[in-house]
Structure formats: structure tokens, C-alpha cells
Structure 1
Amino acid sequence: MVERFDAVDIIRIKRDGGTLSPDQIDWVLDAYTHGGVGDEQMAALAMAIRIRGMGPRETRQWTRAMIASGERMDFGTLSKPTADKHSTGGVGDKITLPLAPLVAVFGVAVPQLSGRGLGHTGGTLDKLESIPGWRADLTNEEIRTQLEEPGAVICAAGTDLARADKKLYALRDITATVDSIPLIASSIMAKKIAEGTGTLVLDVKVGSGAFMKRLADAQELARTMVELGTAAGVRTSALITDMSAPLGRTVGNALEVRESLEVLAGGGPPDVVELTVELAREMVFRAGQGEPDVAAALHDGRALDMWRRMISAQGGDPDAPLPTARERQYVRATKSGVITEMDALRVGYASWRLGAGRAYKGDTIQAGAGIEIHKTVGEAIVDGEPLFTLHTDDPERFERAVDVLDGATIIDGNAARSRGSVILDRVS
């Protein structure tokens, strides 16, 4: 039985810069989950944490308490090791789609429990739901069965995992307390640890299209999450990756599935291929399966075959045509030169305005909506040449999307700049 405390006393301790005890943290999160602490009190505590922060011990205990608020999955009976990946979100981030089947080729089970998009960042489930017949909602038994054969599953996270986080995340979203590294780290890691994976590789984005705008903040978040995972017995590491420009050449749901299939067939944009291969190497190695040539599996068809089996296992038709939008419009360059910047955030918002994303959780999305990027950072473009193709079912959406793209791309007539590697740092 958790000892009873007073919510006001706990708020006051953190407001005044004090340290919460493990028992106080356990009590307040348990009471909040079950209605004993109200939203107004938890909002005050979240704001106190946002301003005063939490030490490493508090953050670890906060994470443990959130895990304890719901069920935990256990893949210990599987015949193979497990490895998962989590991205902090970005524009054009379709990496999970080629990554899960690629890792599964090497005898590592991939339990990729994912979510839907909100705002300018896309959701993995939204992308896959553009495949006819594919279903996101699986029972725990179906997940285990699919992890044995074919070996990878991408599906919706269960509602009973880290129940406290579900309530607290929604509250933080409306109280300006999202941008707290201890709360971000514990939110992500509570769910991932509860999912039961043995290995976790984090993709922490930084740049205009990411939540973290500064490299130092992304590094702090990565270190905090790696420490939380390691303390919980999960082999955890992180890559810090560039999200100053969109990832790949497409932003949108069916558009990103098409691009992922190009990667699985041995092609695709260099930045998407680089990040997919590096994350796969890290996952396979950390899971204890050595250092095989993962890139070769993209070129010889093994990863694409695993994709087809994974999609079919969830009712999808891997041969069915993907949805396309009814209307298209070009955005053309207004000068010649080399592209030196492309603001990922603006491109993400433009895709959202075309119908590829949602403003609220209940909104419907257009599977075929989004943006094709014809030229990106480091590439030359000629005045009048297509820069973007916009896709939507509703032509009245074009004007607002074009407005937000105005100024998103910088073209310098004298520059010669390559984007370089998308991987900026590693934490392990």
C-alpha cells in the first residue's frame, strides 16, 4: 500500500526547489492515475518541474512510477532477442518503415509500437494505414506470434501501457509544460521500457523540424534517456540526427510509404538510406547479433521480402496500389543557385495544411496528401524549375500551403554547400 501524502505539500516542495522522495513520486502518480489528484494540481506540479527541474534520481523514480501505473509486456519467451527504435519525431521521418524489416532479417525481433501524427510531424501508423487492408490494432498474443514469424511488427501501443503518461501527456500539452527534459525523457522511456524490449536505440532529432532546436539540448535529452534505459536493464543507445531540413524527398503518408519501398528495393534518398543502415547496425549489434552487412540486405531483396511478409501478416496487401491525391500543384524556384537551407518545420506545416496531418486527435487525414521535394540542401536549381510538388484532394488547400512555404528555402547563387551526414552525435 502506497503511503498517503498531500498533493499541496508535494507541489510546494518542488515549487521551492526541493527534491521529491521516491514515496512521494509513487504516491502522486498513482493518485493522479486513479483520480485522487486532480488535473489542476498535477498541472501545478508539472509547471514546478518545468521550472525547477528534477535530478537524476527523481527522474528515474518518476519513470519507474509511470511504468508501474500500467501493464508491462514480456517478450522473454521469444526464441530471438528483441530490439526497438524510438524517434523523437521530425518531418519526412519514415525510417521505421524500412528499418523494422531490415533488422528482422538478422534474427532480431522488432516490436515497434508506434503512434499517429499530430501537428507537423507524421505518424508511423498513419503512413502504414495508407496500405489497403493493413491494421494497426493487434492483441498482445498477435504481437508475440508475429515477432516469432516473420519477426517484426509495427502496431498501435496498448492503452494500458504507462497509464499515468497518457493522462499527463495530454495535460502537459495544454499547460505549456511539454518542453521539460525530465518529463520528455520519462514519458518516452516509461512507454518503451513497459513495452518489454531488450534493446532500444533512440533517434533524437535536432533542428528546425524537431522538438529540440539546439544540439546541447538534444544531447542532454539523449543522455537522460540512455541513463533511464540502462538503469531499467534495457541495452540503450542513441543517435542524434539532423532535422534542420526534411528527411528524404517526401512528406506525407502514402508518399512516404512509396519512398520507403524505394529504400527497401536498394534505392532511395541517401540521407534516408544512411540513417536506416546506421540504426539497423546499432540495433543488431546491441541485440548481440554481431556486425553483419545490413546494407547488403537492402540490395539483395531480403529486407523487401521481410516487408511483404510483415505487411501481409497484418492484413495488408503489399501489391495493392497506394492512394494518390486528386490534385497537384508545383512550387517553382524564383532564382538560380544552390539550395543552402530548407526549413523542415515550414515544409511539415505545409504538408499538414494539405491534409496529410491532423490538428486534433480525432481529425481524419488524406492518405495521398503531402509534398514531393525535387531539390534539397546542397543541390543546384534553375529559376523556374520545380522545387516542390504539392498533393491534396482539396485544391482550396493549396494557397495556405504555398503561403507557409514562402521563405522556407534559401537559394544562394554563389554557394556550394552539401548537407553532409545526417548523424551528428552518438550517446551510449
Structure 2
Amino acid sequence: MPADSSTDPSGAALEREITRIYRAEHGRVVASLVRRFGDIDIAEEAVGEALLAAVERWPVDGIPPNPGGWLTTTAVRRAIDRIRRESTRDARHQQAVMMYDHTPPDPTGPVTDDRLRLIFTCCHPALAPEARVALTLRLLGGLTVAEIGQAFLVPETTMAQRITRAKRKIKDARIPYRVPEGGDLEQRMPAVLAVVYLVFNEGYLATSGDDPVRADLCDEAIRLGRVLRELLPEVTEVAGLLALMLLIDARRSTRVAGGELVPLDEQDRGRWDRSLIAEGHVLVRECLARNRPGHYQLLAAVNAVHTDATDARDTDWSQIAALYDQLYALAPTPVVALNRAVAVAELDGPEVALAVVDRLELTAYHPWHATRADLLRRLGRSAEAVAAYDAAIAAAGNDAERAYLRRRRAQLTAP
């Protein structure tokens, strides 16, 4: 129905609803047009024109019963009009044939979903990692170039060039618009999941900028995770990633207070989102039942243990250490060892944990300095702890995190 000007004279509510619909449907509509026309630029521009038409028509006619269908139909018409106008359409069609996957899709299963094809196109290994993130947010998430640039503190012109180069790479390298099969699917899946998790991490604790938490990026990553979960229900790492993001995001409202990062053991657990925690726990139990452990599943299980404890003192650190043991067997990285050392400190004391941390080659990683500082503080080695806090503050990019580290440091130097 049309907007009620008596209750909302500015039409702000309708504008927000149009934006919400556009973001939710953008990936589906773009993917549908890419499949039909074999050209990302045509698809993207046609969907943009469809949005302008919606902004013009919906305040007058009301939001249609099937807004996604309306946007798709309008975008298809705009794409056809553009192709007819272009004198180079024959060459464009010939090039599109080379890119387009003509193999008839399996009538059942996730391969039939255009969004899944588009996600794998955006995350193709031929593209640079930063380009994969940008394209995923642009084509699947519907974020503007300016919004993506702002999220990663890159000028809009720079981000526009990055996206343009990525699309040109897809065209020049004739990257097919399809979901890989068999071993290729398994090989490419980590890149897809890594892109979604990178978007989430940047939202949950921004590496730099004025906003310590970017709720829009967290929400978009979780939405993409739900899409992947819907399309690939049998892939346990997809369920693990979604569970991990839900369990971390459940603590979002308690993450920052007064412009300062609040560590996990100091957060008000009564304010955690219990519905997200319940959903995350269901997914973790599903992963455990399948018994095919993976990186994201194990991290989700760690967070499930944390969210099981209504009081930080009730945390089952032995279970967390065991989960990190499993994770280290899969991915023996210094970062995993650092996270395990935090659990070791709770089980065997800070001195044992510090011996582990000092053996790790992570001097460029600010959580390493922050962990050392905390362990040294607990051991009463204040001068060394102050130096470690200084190093952590210098390496941290998030203002809220720096504020927390400065307060901890000040407690050691106060009279």
C-alpha cells in the first residue's frame, strides 16, 4: 500500500523499506540477469535502473506483493532495451557465449540457484582477495561502491577501480559463471567462506576508523552466511561459519561501552541475544553429529562453550583447550596456538601460558602483544607489561581496543 503521509510525512519509513528490499533482493536479481545475459555490467546497471524505477513508482503505486519479481522483470526489460541500443551487441553476445555456462543445471540441489553461481564467480582464485570481498559486497550484498570503500577505509575512486578491474578480469579470463563440481567445489569453498568471514570480522571489530563495530557489515555477512546455508545444507563448514558468526554477534551489544572495548569476561551476559545463541547452538550440535570437524565448526564450538556459561567463572576452559587442540591439528598456525594459550593460562596459570606465547613468532600481530601484556600483568611483572601494552596500543587499529589497552596500562602506572 502507498506510504501514509499523515504518519510519515517525509516518507522515511518507505525509503528504508525500499532500501531493505533492494539489499535483500539485489544478489538474487543480479545473479538472475548474469545467467540470462552473461554480462555482469549489463546485469548490474539494469538492476540499478530498476531501483530508480522502484523509488519513483512505489511511493505512488505502493510496494508490489512480490517486490523481487517486480525488480527482476523491470531489470530484464531495461537490460534488453540497452542491448538493443548498443551497436556492439553481436560481439557482446558472442563474448557472453564464451563465459556463460550452457550446461543444463541439475533439476535438484543448490546448483540451480543463481546466487551460488555468482558467489563462486566473485570468489574465483584468479581474483585478488580484496577484489573478492569488494565484488561479493557489491553484487550479492547490493552495497554501493562508496559504502564498500568506507567499510575498508579506501577512497571511493580506488574501490571503483578495484571492482572494475575485477569485473574485467572475469571477462578477460573468461571465468565461467557456474558452481564448481566435485573436488573443485571442495577446493574453492574455503575462499568463499573466508570472504564472508572477513566481511564479518571487519564489521565486528573494525581494523580502523571511527566506528569500532560496523553493524551493517555484521548483518550482511550473516545474511550471506544464511544464503550459503540455504544453498549448501550438506556442507558442514557452512553451518559452522554461520554458527560462529551468530554466536559472536549475540554479544555485539556488550562488546563496546563508553567508547572502550569490553573483554569477554567483563561483558554483561544477561544482555547477550539468547535467540542467536540458541540458533548457533543448534547448528553446532548438528556439526558435531556429522563428525566432520573443520576450522569454522571448531571455532563455533569454542564460542558455544563461552555462551554456555552464564558467568565467566563457570567457563569450561578444559573443553576450550581440547577444541583448540583439534583445531591446531587441522591448522597448526601461531594464531591458533596463541588462542589456545589463553585457555592454558586459565588451566595451568599465566607463567605456563607465557612460555608458550613467547615462543610464537607473532611480533607484528597486536593480539600477541595484548596477550603477553595481560599475562605479564597477572604475574606482577609490571614494567614488562607496560612495554607490552605500549606495543599492543601501537599495533592496534581500533579506537575502542586502544582505549581498553590504555586503561589497562594506566592501572599499572598509577600511584
> Could you tell me the TM-score, scaled by structure 1's length?
0.29
Structure with the largest fraction of helix: 2
Instruction: Tell me which protein shows more strand as a share of its residues.
Output: 1
Q: Of the two, which has the highest radius of gyration?
A: 2
Scaled by the length of structure 2, the TM-score of the pair is 0.29
Greater relative CO (CA pairs within 8 A, separation 6+): 1
